[in-house]
Amino acid sequence: GQNIDQPTEMTATEGAIVQINCTYQTSGFNGLFWYQQHAGEAPTFLSYNVLDGLEEKGRFSSFLSRSKGYSYLLLKELQMKDSASYLCAVLDSNYQLIWGAGTKLIIKP
Amino acid sequence: GAVVSQHPSWVICKSGTSVKIECRSLDFQATTMFWYRQFPKQSLMLMATSNEGSKATYEQGVEKDKFLINHASLTLSTLTVTSAHPEDSSFYICSARDLGGEGQPQHFGDGTRLSIL
């Protein structure tokens, strides 16, 4: 079966750095997406990785290792507004998007 | 860029009513749009994949006759919840993918919160 694992919940302090991990086992791989979803709102696109390595976008970075079936989303200089759920999703060999259950990130002052 | 508009944002209606939700890609063309449902504190559940000019592909367990999908143009897909009942109350979200291909990200509408009394 296809499976995406990410922690259910994480807590971090304002101004700090947090890393949200995602591991996947899918039938094929055509890229991995990270989305942010605030409570009661629709997801917004953060990043897309299809090759190994680190992609940096401002305070957010996303890393991929295809051989390990592993990705992480790194958030720096955390702000209160970063409190949200972060969804990892993988495009499988049929270009179907397989969604993780999301990681709820709680930022404390 | 990549704006998806979903309308309406909120619907409250009586049991037995049919509700139509529109999803439009405003600044790009989308051969493929997706309809999701999300219950409180749960992950996104894909209901169906809508392809322009052809029949939608429904996920297992989703009733085709209850959730009617029409994707008549490259910028518009509609979901009609027919004869809605309280158990259909949920957050419905559409997304659209650019013509650039399957590797393009899905861009989401703001969602429709449906409450059936």
Contact A102 B109 (CB under 8 A): no
Min Cα separation B65/chain A (Å): 23
Q: Which of A33, A42, A101 sits opposite B93 (nearest CB)?
A: A42
B43 near A CB under 8 A: yes
CA distance B86 to chain A (A): 19
Task: Collect all residues of chain B within an 8 Å Cβ-Cβ radius of residue A44.
Answer: 108
A-B CB pairs within 8 A amount to 44
With b for 16 or more beta-carbon neighbours within 10 A and e for fewer, the A28-66 pattern comes to eebbbbbbbbeeeebbebbbbbeeeeebeeeebbbbbee
The confidence score (pLDDT) of residue B8 equals 96
Range A11-21 burial, b when 16+ CB lie within 10 A, else e: ebeeeeebebe
Instruction: Mark yes or no for CB contact B102/A30 under 8 Å.
Output: yes
Give contacts of A100 with chain B, Cβ < 8 Å. 43
How far away is chain A from the Cα of B33, in angstroms, using its nearest Cα? Answer: 12
Between vectors from CA B57 to CA B20 and to CA B111, what angle results, nearest 5°? 40
Q: What is the mean pLDDT of residues A55-60?
A: 94
Query: Collapsing DSSP states into helix, strand and coil, what is residue A81?
Result: helix
Distance CA B38, CA B88 (A): 11
Rounded to whole angstroms, the Cα distance separating A103 from A7 reads: 5
Q: Is the pLDDT of residue A38 over 90?
A: yes
Judged by DSSP in three states, B86 sits in helix
pLDDT value of position B98: 78
Cβ count within 10 A of residue B10: 9
Confidence of residue A16 (pLDDT cuts 50, 70, 90): very high
Overall average pLDDT of the A61-70 stretch: 97
> What pLDDT does B94 receive?
95
What residue type is B13 in one-letter code? C
- Which pLDDT score, from 0 to 100, does residue B53 have? 82
Q: Give the three-state DSSP class for A15.
A: coil
Nearest CB neighbour to B109, from listed A42, A101, A102:
A42
Q: CA of A4: how far to CAs of A11, A97, A99, B101, in Å?
A: 21, 11, 7, 23
Mean pLDDT by runs of 10 across the 117 residues of chain B is 89 95 91 90 88 89 94 91 95 87 82 95
